[in-house]
Structure 1
Amino acid sequence: MMEEETVFRVEAEGLVESLEAGLLALRDAPRNAELINKVFRDLHTLKGSGAMFGRDDIASFLHDFETAFEQVRAGSVKLDAALIGLSLEASDHVAALLAGGGTAPGDALLGRLAEMLQTAGTEPARVPLRFRFWMDPRTLDLGGKPEFILDELRKLGATNIRPVLDELPPLSEMDPMRLYLGWEGEIDPKISEDQIRAVFLFHEDGLRLELECASPPAQHEADPESVDTPVPGRTADTQRQLMRVPAERLDDMMNRVGELVIAEARLLELAANSGDPNLVTVAEDIQRLTTAMRDTTMSIRMTPIGAITGRFRRLVHDLTTKLGKPIEFITEGEETELDKTVVEQLTDPLMHIIRNVVDHGLEAEEDRVAMGKAAKGQIRLSARYSGAEVLISLADDGRGLNRDAILKRAVERGLIAAAADVPEEEIARLIFEPGFSTAEAVTELSGRGVGMDVVHRTIEALRGSLEVASEPGHGTTVTLRLPLTLAIIDGLLIEVGGERFVIPLAAVDEIVELPAAHAAVRSGNAFLDIRENLVPVLRLRTLLQSENAPDPHQKVIVVTSSDGRVGLVVDRIIGSNQTVIKQLSPLHAGLKIFSGATILGDGSVALILDVPQLVTRGRTVVETGKEAA
């Protein structure tokens, strides 16, 4: 029984998410019939599932809301912002019931719904003229074109034209030149019967035409422009059989695969040293199977960023209602995938940023209009791949960061000296200091200086980084740089000064020989002309303070991040390997050029180089002309 309850709860939580997404979409397309039907289906399924599993509290509560949307489908109740807002509160209440919340809020919601429906009254449904017709069965043989008739009917305003198959015979008895089909549809009753019959002027012989008045199906209440509005939730591609698995099992499987990868590396090392061809063959087979298992397990763990964007839409909707600021929330790259652990931990940071944007960044409607901006503020959430990273940007078109207010508060808190000349990028970083806030008063949304500190700590814990770009009067963009995965990557094993390191293979663009003219140089200006492009070069021997003699045939590994390219000079390239990422100890976590460590096949440890940090150092070469050591 406990397992059945778990299944019900998981399915119900998915339906609540789908219901909320549908309601938020209806806010922008309130007459979209497909969305209305989707919300009705979610309500009906939730109610039915609740009754089936003995959750009468959920079933009885949803009954009235299901009835309300049935009236919306029939056209007797108008769907407006108030009903959508109340329905969103209802979805929150169902979520609370699933989590063990009380029933008191539900009684109040039902009372408000009854009052709302009573105040709205009942609107008369539009009555269309329904037509059905069959043309002469010999029409095709006589050269007639039924499609021309249908086009003429559409010009009169006919909608929802569909075939009538009542007289279609079995395939074995069908004559390909005989017209068996009829058609039916609806048209405005203002169109007279004479106008309709005029369409069939040259096809009156053998014509059967039926006309009757009838209430339209629900879908006819939709505006033609809104019918193609995408419906959030499951699509045809995702409606296949799925199995829900607890996250803990996935984590356990990933840990075991990681240990298997380490054991496989040890086996390959032993096989290579043994010289036994049979052992080498078996080791290579195990390597192939381990790689396939790793890829499959990794794909299971990958989650699209779109899995959490619904929460942000709801947050923006609620903040719009609370603060009276009209806001357009736009998403791009929702299909971009990250490790599920990363996606789960992104929710709170992004919510904190959105709250700050709405409270501090976006101006009031009248102020925007006075400034010549669109009355509706805009927040754009976008995600994209960049080498071994995913970049998630949250941009707004508001007032931008208040440089003077930030500096004033930083001086008051002793973070900077009063006369200090602070670079622009450092000013932006100040907002992430613990307890930092420029708000004059503490509000429900902000002012305590906690939110952005949470953002900073969470992103750092995910081995990511933060960047802020702001233009006064034009908005702010916060960019989160995050690793694709926290578990296993393909790595390039290199040697520098007798020590081995790993570079994420996804960040490697190309590998070239270090020219002889550069081989003896250890510092100073460092650029290479690679395919007519100057690329800044970092000598890892200098960076890592290696005292050993350099290899006579050094290589340059060109790596890329969103900030550009940089060449890394290494002594030797050992080869590619599957890299199980292990977190660095707190003692070593401050070494920014390393993102983690891994265990090699011989049992030794190799540090994993942090490519974005290295590229940032490479930019110093460009800006100062000196090697960033």
Structure 2
Amino acid sequence: MTEADPVNTFRLEARELLETLEQGLLDMDADPTNSEVIDAVFRALHTIKGSGAMFGFTAIAEFVHDFETAFDKVRKGLAEVSPDLIRIALAAKDHIALLLEEEDQDPRSGDGILTELSVLVATGTGVQGTVAVVIDKAVEPGAGAGDVTDWRIYFRLGQDALVFGANPLLLLRELQDLGACDVTVDIGAVPTLSSLDPEKSFLAWEVILRGCASREAIEDVFMFIRDDMELELAPLDQQVKGAEEAVDPAAQKTLALAPAEQLAKSDNRTAAGGGSSLRVPAERLDDLMDRVGELVIAQERLNQLAHASDDVNLKAVAEEMGRLSAGLRDTTMGIRMVQIGTLFGRFRRLVHDLSSELGKDIDFVTIGEDTELDKTMIEQLADPLVHLIRNAVDHGLESAEARREAGKPARGTVRLSAFYTGAEVAISVSDDGAGLDPARIRAKAEESGLLAPDAPIDENALLRMIFHPGFSTAKEITSLSGRGVGMDVVKRTIDGLRGAIDVSTVKGEGSTITLRLPLTLAIVDGMLIRVGKERYSIPLAAVEECVELPAAVAHGSKNRSFLNIRGSLVPYLRLRDLFGVEGPPDTHPKVVIVSSGDIRVGLVVDQILGNTQTVIKQLSKLHSEVKTFSGATILGDGTIALILDIMNLVDFGQKIDARDTKLGRAA
């Protein structure tokens, strides 16, 4: 088993820290006085700097050091948070990400950002009037250390510290940031030249730090190397007192070690509290899912053999194996499921930047962040949601002046929400803007040749025209929209995920676009049915109930397409007719009532065979246009069963409902 590359590990952790940094900066923009958020941002910066120096990312460490120095004024209340400060800080975060991904970047390429940040903090030129502060090496009065004003710090790095990327000069610079320093180098442990190993550290440093730095601030400087170094820290006045008042050496040793021990205890408490986690490559999860899928198929085969046998022991083993494989399947699926909030958080920066670019004040609201979805779907939803949010901000929301004239608040609202609905997850992007204009969409569709003049079309189908390739109602092309590409990307991606799109709008009040997606693309419980001689699988979560097809309907006119289910009319589809099955139907056909959202449709089948665990296999690209089936599965006997696409069948049933309703009115 190959050992993980520590540099790649740093990159992964740094990306997470940068995401935390970005979210923290956006939180600061929304709540500038929240000290906890400001401290969280500062901790993220400090961790990136320390880890970067440790793993040899010197350019990142130096850039973040200067970023942190300027930002420290904000943390200490000497500079206020302003929109300009957040804008520059976000640009600095982006530059750190660039340095992380492209190591050949010029180390001084971020100097302009740092200069602008320093000038802003120092001169108070922010929009909200930041306090004038000069960034220097002195520590401001009131930094807080009780009566202690001066410290004696003695530290010696571990001999392998240089090999692992530790830089004593950076440590000394950080101490300088805390106050005026007198530094003395201890060379007593340096060996003779003949036995000197240039990769090992033999020097020690004594630093007299003058000012009001706190013990915590000094300990933070050595946060990432405490376990492998010698560190002594004591107030200077205790060092210069008489021997009778001097600190006992044992006490000094305890003083130096206590913070590290406290940190270890804190880590132990975290682990004991269940907060620990393990980073696993996504490829291994995919491989595990494939193995579980094969196990499910083998389990179904074992069940068939057990049912066909009179061996009681075989039946018992099959039952136990079924329980274990079901538990393993559920656990594996749980590992693959990811809270959609990890995706939603990315769009706060998008809305923040669009708000600045378009000059629109926007409230971005997210709902249902704890809704879980298969990780493979989460990864593919990023681009569609970006296009939908950009469209809502650019096209949906009016300018502040137009909103006031319409009697609305000047600030617009964009909502991103997720919630469960049956066997699906619905993700909605809504705005409180002007809404879609059906007349304008129709005019554009006729102009583009997508719709014949005066051709009848219902409003829902008309609104779906916005997803046609190249379709756009924008009057002019801008950097954000106008070419009709984005919504086409949304449609193609959602179709590829076996999902559906709903569009609703109210003129003057806003629009909502809802993406309806299956919970997972891997393994689902299915109901096995027979139509003619072929077997098919229906996702069990979409099944509401099963009923007998009334004899009068079974042998009556095929033009009648409704069933009365406890007082509710439900349209139904005869799958024999839909699939072109020849031969006489069974004597007692069944109806499986399925639902998608709030819509129900009945599927007439010849026989219900029972429930089965369905391992979904995607159809080939040659069958991408076949909308009736979402995939295929291998049954226990090795044969193939197609999986019905409930969303498309329900949509097809709605069209039959609308057709029959229209014919009834005409009659």
1:372 aligns with 407
1:538 aligns with 573
1:76 aligns with 78
TM-fit CA distance, 1:387: 1.5
SS in 2 for 1:431: helix
SS in 2 for 1:401: coil
1:550 and 1:571 in contact (8 A); partners too: yes
Structure-to-structure mapping, 1:225-624, within 5 angstroms: 240-521=275-556, 523-624=558-659
1:320 and 1:327 in contact (8 A); partners too: yes
User: What one-letter code is carried by the residue in structure 2 that aligns with 1:356?
Assistant: N
User: What one-letter code is carried by the residue in structure 2 that aligns with 1:86?
Assistant: I
- TM-score norm. by structure 1 comes to 0.78
Q: Which segment is superposed worse, 482-491 or 608-617?
A: 608-617
Pair 321,239 (structure 1): closer, same or farther in 2 beyond 3 Å = farther
User: What one-letter code is carried by the residue in structure 1 that aligns with 2:52?
Assistant: G
SS in 2 for 1:576: strand
Between the two proteins, the alignment pairs up a number of residues equal to 525
Pair 237,318 (structure 1): closer, same or farther in 2 beyond 3 Å = farther
1:66 aligns with 68
1:53 aligns with 55
- TM-score norm. by structure 2 comes to 0.74
Pair 591,238 (structure 1): closer, same or farther in 2 beyond 3 Å = farther
User: What one-letter code is carried by the residue in structure 2 that aligns with 1:255?
Assistant: D
TM-fit CA distance, 1:236: 12
1:106 aligns with 110
TM-fit CA distance, 1:594: 1.4
Unaligned runs of at least 5 residues, structure 1: 128-234
Aligned: 1:96 with 2:107:
no
SS in 1 for 2:508: coil
Q: Which segment is superposed worse, 486-495 or 353-362?
A: 353-362
Pair 472,366 (structure 1): closer, same or farther in 2 beyond 3 Å = same
SS in 2 for 1:625: helix
Aligned: 1:117 with 2:110:
no
2:20 aligns with 18
SS in 1 for 2:81: coil
1:398 and 1:473 in contact (8 A); partners too: yes
User: What one-letter code is carried by the residue in structure 2 that aligns with 1:312?
Assistant: F
User: What one-letter code is carried by the residue in structure 2 that aligns with 1:570?
Assistant: V
Could you tell me how far apart the structure 1 residues matched to 2:295 and 2:54 are?
44
2:435 and 2:511 in contact (8 A); partners too: yes
TM-fit CA distance, 1:422: 3.6
2:500 and 2:647 in contact (8 A); partners too: no
1:68 and 1:77 in contact (8 A); partners too: no
Pair 555,361 (structure 1): closer, same or farther in 2 beyond 3 Å = same
1:36 and 1:69 in contact (8 A); partners too: no
Could you tell me how far apart the structure 2 residues matched to 1:39 and 1:236 are?
24
Q: Which segment is superposed worse, 337-346 or 462-471?
A: 462-471
Q: Which segment is superposed worse, 277-286 or 482-491?
A: 277-286
SS in 2 for 1:549: coil
2:221 aligns with none
Pair 104,473 (structure 1): closer, same or farther in 2 beyond 3 Å = farther
User: What one-letter code is carried by the residue in structure 2 that aligns with 1:70?
Assistant: D
2:337 and 2:375 in contact (8 A); partners too: yes
TM-fit CA distance, 1:290: 1.6
1:16 and 1:91 in contact (8 A); partners too: yes
Could you tell me how far apart the structure 2 residues matched to 1:549 and 1:280 are?
37
Could you tell me how far apart the structure 2 residues matched to 1:450 and 1:406 are?
16
Could you tell me how far apart the structure 1 residues matched to 2:16 and 2:557 are?
59
TM-fit CA distance, 1:324: 0.7
Q: Deviations over 1:363-404 (max 9, x none)?
A: 111111111111011111111111211111111111222334
User: What one-letter code is carried by the residue in structure 2 that aligns with 1:381?
Assistant: L
Could you tell me how far apart the structure 1 residues matched to 2:574 and 2:109 are?
65
Pair 238,456 (structure 1): closer, same or farther in 2 beyond 3 Å = farther
Q: Deviations over 1:472-505 (max 9, x none)?
A: 2222111111111111101011112232111111
Moved over 4 A (4+): 123-127, 235-239
TM-fit CA distance, 1:105: 4.1
Give the RMSD, CA atoms, in angstroms: 2.8
1:226 aligns with none
1:75 and 1:125 in contact (8 A); partners too: no
User: What one-letter code is carried by the residue in structure 2 that aligns with 1:10?
Assistant: L
Could you tell me how far apart the structure 1 residues matched to 2:273 and 2:362 are?
30
1:182 aligns with none
1:582 and 1:596 in contact (8 A); partners too: yes
TM-fit CA distance, 1:339: 0.8
Could you tell me how far apart the structure 2 residues matched to 1:25 and 1:246 are?
30
Could you tell me how far apart the structure 2 residues matched to 1:340 and 1:122 are?
46
Unaligned runs of at least 5 residues, structure 2: 125-131, 143-269
Q: Deviations over 1:520-578 (max 9, x none)?
A: 23623233333333333333233333333333333322222114222222222111111
Structure-to-structure mapping, 1:161-172, within 5 angstroms: none
1:524 and 1:626 in contact (8 A); partners too: no
Q: Say which structure, 1 or 2, has more relative contact order (CA 8 Å, 6+ apart).
A: 1
1:620 and 1:626 in contact (8 A); partners too: no
User: What one-letter code is carried by the residue in structure 2 that aligns with 1:509?
Assistant: E
Could you tell me how far apart the structure 1 residues matched to 2:18 and 2:271 are?
20
TM-fit CA distance, 1:590: 2.3
Q: What is the percent sequence identity of the aligned residues?
A: 56
1:525 and 1:627 in contact (8 A); partners too: no
Choose the corresponding residue for 1:42, options 5, 20, 44.
44
Could you tell me how far apart the structure 2 residues matched to 1:48 and 1:12 are?
11
Pair 359,626 (structure 1): closer, same or farther in 2 beyond 3 Å = closer
